A and B are shown apart, each in its own frame.
Chain A
Amino acid sequence: MKKSFFSATILMITVMVIGMFSMCGTAVAEEPIIINVAIISPLSGPAGPWGQVGLDVYEAWLELFNKEGFRVNGKLYNFKNINYDSLNTPEGGAACAKRAIFEDKVKFIVGHWDTSFLAVSAISNPAKVILIARNGNEAVGGGAYNPEKMPYVVFGTPSHEKFLSDIKAIVAAYPNYKRIGISDSTLGKGVGWDYVDRDLTAAGIRFHHEWYPFGTQDYSPYITRFKEAGCDVIYGAGDVLAAMMITKQRWDMGLKYIKTGTAGGLLDPKMYIDVSGYDASQGFIAQHANPLDYKKTKVNPKFIKMFREVQDMVSKKQGKPFNYTAWTDWGCAHMQILAQAMMKAGSVDDPDKIMNAIRGGTFDTMAGKYTMSGAKTYGSPIVFGNPGCISIIKGNKEVYLSENPWKPIP
């Protein structure tokens, strides 16, 4: 009796172990369902480097993200990116959107940041394709964005709010500043600046605007105007070439006390040193999106580990250290919003359900954990967060300078 009981127990354990192993085997072998996402950005032309820099990052990040994937209604899903070259023009962006939506049957566009927002959204909205972009000048509250006509738009990267946050971080770093000069090309002139000006004035920050025609090479007239307005900082709103030339030309004019910078991530400090000169580029201010350095913004340790791995993978692939960090604010965070919204909505193909999950939802991303806000300003709570963190060039390196954590917008 004892012997048969013992044999039966052994048999049962063996069956259970085999069963468990076979179940594990099934889980490992489960094929994920692929969801295509379009990334429409400039890959050629003058803005090409800013689109190109994301390609290796997306590849590496998705490799890590897809190892785990995400589950909706018990099914395993992975993202696959399809890259399109917008040429940084409305026509180019529209052509990409048409190709992505009508030929490649893509249902989601992420990481959009160039000048083709209106052209792309004019195609994506009627097709009920969710577009996660940044709120450029054309899309800021009170601008062309209309929550009723653009129900499938999400501002995953709030660029104007981030700009404001940058300025506040500069003021925190240099409390004895006299006046902050804000430079932008006439292409960027629009309602977005009324929005920025209103907030800066309310915050009691002293500033002066100058616009220059796009393609300007000689910035001495504008630098002189900044000087005469009493500015000791000139912070550019996005045009990196202009920022590099202002940095160099103010140095050549003997105005070494004026600090300069750009509202964009540093691609590589070497580029700024090569173009503006070593001495002139020291102290150059830029946006810093390195979760390893954040002192006030909390990022999920899991994503910090992921960040390190992505930087290593891209460095290995490119054969040189990859120090660009601004990617954490863009497409990868957008894909995380999308995946988490799909899980909450319990759907991967119903854009209305997914948008309902996005509006006012809280998402944990590479850029931090934020709740979608902006209901009053934008007419819909579809604006995600972003830390206002800035760095400077010191020697040949980019070092953390200051930070202004994200606050939800009304």
Chain B
Amino acid sequence: MPPAEILIEGLTQSCIYMTMAFGMVLVFSILGILNWTHGQLFMLGAFIVFYSTTAAGIPFPIGILLAGLVMAGIGILIKKFIIDRIKGELYIGVATLALIFALEGAASLLFTSDDRGLAIILPGVLNLGVVAISYQKMAVIIFTLIVMTAMYFVLNHTKVGLAIRAVAQQPVAASLYGISTERLSLIVMGIGCALAAMAGAIMAPLYPINPFIGRTPMIMALLAIVIGGLGSLTGAIVGGLILGFLHSVIAYYISYLSEVVLFGLIILILLVRPQGLFGASAK
């Protein structure tokens, strides 16, 4: 059994991957595309909460919501002015890939490449004797629980949620019932981008903030989706959990070779279950 610190850190990482992966899957299930700029929206979310807290003096929780709102708006603009105007999944994918570098470049110009930090938010450690956990990590875990509960409620107990599920499962039938897939896809894009930005915002006190912090979480979220099953929201959560824990635990046992083993395991999962743990079989 690995030490408790490793499990706590694994859970913290899982929370980030889960939130990111959930947003990506949501967008994929309605739009049918993977938004490769998810990591950069994560990065911009961190910058928004950094400046809203340090420059504008806005309380941190409100800064997180602000990051979500602003990036939801940006996400809708990306959908309207880029994704909708390009035909073909491959070309849309390429466009969102190009956006990675465009957004990182713009952020470098605007904020410079210097590292910033928000360690002043929720400083302190709760020492339980056998294990210590920082308040910042506790905040990440609680935030993820709240977001996931809210998403569960929205998807299962609201009209919008019902419409999202309907379009995800039967888009043609859903439109025949009067659901505007266009409007719905904008809402979903907004929610997905907001989740990425809020994940970046809640992470801001834990890690350095610079224009390049979105790359690793984006790759890990993508892997979580693949493990969980492309298109499955439950899969995104389980995939994120597995990945976060595996990453920390394997690194503890075998140090820097962890990535070889971790990514080898992912290939193994795909060989055994190409559709992922919760994805529908292609057959």
Interface residues of A (CB under 8 A from B): 44-46, 48-49, 52, 186, 189, 210-213, 215-218, 220-225, 240-241, 244-245, 248-249, 251-254, 267, 271, 273-280
Q: For B12, give the chain A residue with the smallest CB separation.
A: A218
State whether A244 and B208 are in contact (beta carbons under 8 Å apart), knowing that A220-B9, A252-B136, A274-B116 are contacts in the complex: yes
Cβ of B117: which chain A residues have Cβ within 8 Å of it?
Answer: 244, 271, 273-277
State whether A217 and B119 are in contact (beta carbons under 8 Å apart), knowing that A224-B252, A252-B125, A252-B132 are contacts in the complex: no
Number of interface residues of B (CB under 8 A): 43
- B193-233 contacts to A, CB under 8 A, are 206-208, 210, 212, 215-216
Please give the distance in Å from A252's CB to the nearest CB on chain B.
Answer: 4
Please give the distance in Å from B46's CB to the nearest CB on chain A.
Answer: 12
State whether A275 and B208 are in contact (beta carbons under 8 Å apart), knowing that A48-B113, A210-B255, A252-B134 are contacts in the complex: yes
Q: How far is the CA of A253 from the CA of B133 in the complex (A)?
A: 6
Cβ of B3: which chain A residues have Cβ within 8 Å of it?
Answer: 224
Cβ of B9: which chain A residues have Cβ within 8 Å of it?
Answer: 218, 220-221, 249
Please give the distance in Å from B136's CB to the nearest CB on chain A.
Answer: 7
A interface SS class: helix
State whether A221 and B252 are in contact (beta carbons under 8 Å apart), knowing that A271-B117, A274-B118, A275-B117 are contacts in the complex: yes
Whether B40 sits at the interface, judged by CB under 8 Å, is no
Q: For A51, give the chain B residue with the smallest CB separation.
A: B113
Cβ of A278: which chain B residues have Cβ within 8 Å of it?
Answer: 119-120, 123
Q: How far is the CA of A48 from the CA of B108 in the complex (A)?
A: 10
Q: How far is the CA of A52 from the CA of B255 in the complex (A)?
A: 33
Whether B89 sits at the interface, judged by CB under 8 Å, is no
Interface residues of B (CB under 8 A from A): 3, 5-6, 8-10, 12-13, 108, 112-120, 123, 125, 127, 131-134, 136-137, 206-208, 210, 212, 215-216, 247-249, 251-252, 255-256, 258-259
**B125 & A251 in contact (Cβ 8 Å cutoff):** yes
**B258 & A275 in contact (Cβ 8 Å cutoff):** no
**B5 & A253 in contact (Cβ 8 Å cutoff):** yes
Q: How far is the CA of A17 from the CA of B113 in the complex (A)?
A: 58
**A273 & B132 in contact (Cβ 8 Å cutoff):** no
Total cross-chain contacts (CB, 8 A):
120
Cβ of A274: which chain B residues have Cβ within 8 Å of it?
Answer: 115-120
Q: For B134, give the chain A residue with the smallest CB separation.
A: A252
Identify 18 new A-B residue pairs, CB closer than 8 A, beyond the known A218-B9, A221-B258, A274-B115. A44-B113, A186-B256, A189-B256, A210-B255, A213-B258, A217-B216, A218-B251, A220-B248, A221-B6, A221-B251, A222-B255, A241-B115, A248-B206, A252-B136, A254-B131, A274-B117, A275-B115, A278-B119
Q: How far is the CA of A244 from the CA of B206 in the complex (A)?
A: 11
Cβ of A279: which chain B residues have Cβ within 8 Å of it?
Answer: 123
Cβ of A273: which chain B residues have Cβ within 8 Å of it?
Answer: 117, 119
Residue from B13, B132, B208 in contact with A241 in the complex, judged by beta carbons closer than 8 Å: B208
Please give the distance in Å from A86's CB to the nearest CB on chain B.
Answer: 14
Residue from B13, B127, B208 in contact with A218 in the complex, judged by beta carbons closer than 8 Å: B13
Residue from B5, B115, B127 in contact with A220 in the complex, judged by beta carbons closer than 8 Å: B5
**B216 & A211 in contact (Cβ 8 Å cutoff):** no
Cβ of A216: which chain B residues have Cβ within 8 Å of it?
Answer: 251
